[in-house]
Structure 1
Amino acid sequence: MSTQPPSRTSFYLDKRHGKVMGVCSGIANYTGLDVTLVRIMMASAMFMSGFSILPLYFIAGWIADDQPRELQHDTKEDRRFWQGVRASPAQSARDIRSRMREIDRRIGDIEMYVTTQNRSLAREIEDLR
Structure 2
Amino acid sequence: MYRNPRAGKVAGVCAGVADYFSVDAWLVRLGMVLGLVFFFPATIIAYIVLAVVLKPQPQGLYESNEEEVFWRSVTTRPDQTLAGLRAKFRDLDREIGAMESAVASREFDLRRQFKDLEK
Given the two structures, how large is their TM-score scaled by the length of structure 1?
Answer: 0.60
Which has the larger share of helix?
A: 2
Q: CA deviation at 1:104?
A: 1.0
Quick one: which amino acid aligns to residue 128 of structure 1?
E
1:35-114, aligned counterparts within 5 Å?
Answer: 37-42=23-28, 45=30, 52=37, 59=47, 62-67=51-56, 69=58, 72-114=61-103
The alignment covers a number of residue pairs equal to 108
Structure 1: stretches of 5+ with no match in the other structure: 1-10
Inter-partner Cα distance in structure 1 for 2:54 and 2:96? 44
Given the two structures, how large is their TM-score scaled by the length of structure 2?
Answer: 0.64
Inter-partner Cα distance in structure 1 for 2:72 and 2:104? 42
Question: Which is greater in Rg?
Answer: 2
CA RMSD for the aligned pairs? 3.5
Return closer, same or farther for 1:75/1:24 CA change in 2, 3 Å cut-off. farther
Q: CA deviation at 1:123?
A: 6.7
Partner of 2:18: 28
Partner of 1:12: 2
Q: CA deviation at 1:124?
A: 4.7
Q: Percent identity?
A: 20
Partner of 1:3: none
1:25-44 CA-partner distances (Å, limit 9, x unpaired)? 4123321x1xxx5134246x
User: Any runs of at least 4 consecutive aligned residues in structure 1 with deviations exceeding 3 A, and if so which?
Assistant: 59-64
Return closer, same or farther for 1:14/1:68 CA change in 2, 3 Å cut-off. closer
Inter-partner Cα distance in structure 2 for 1:67 and 1:124? 63
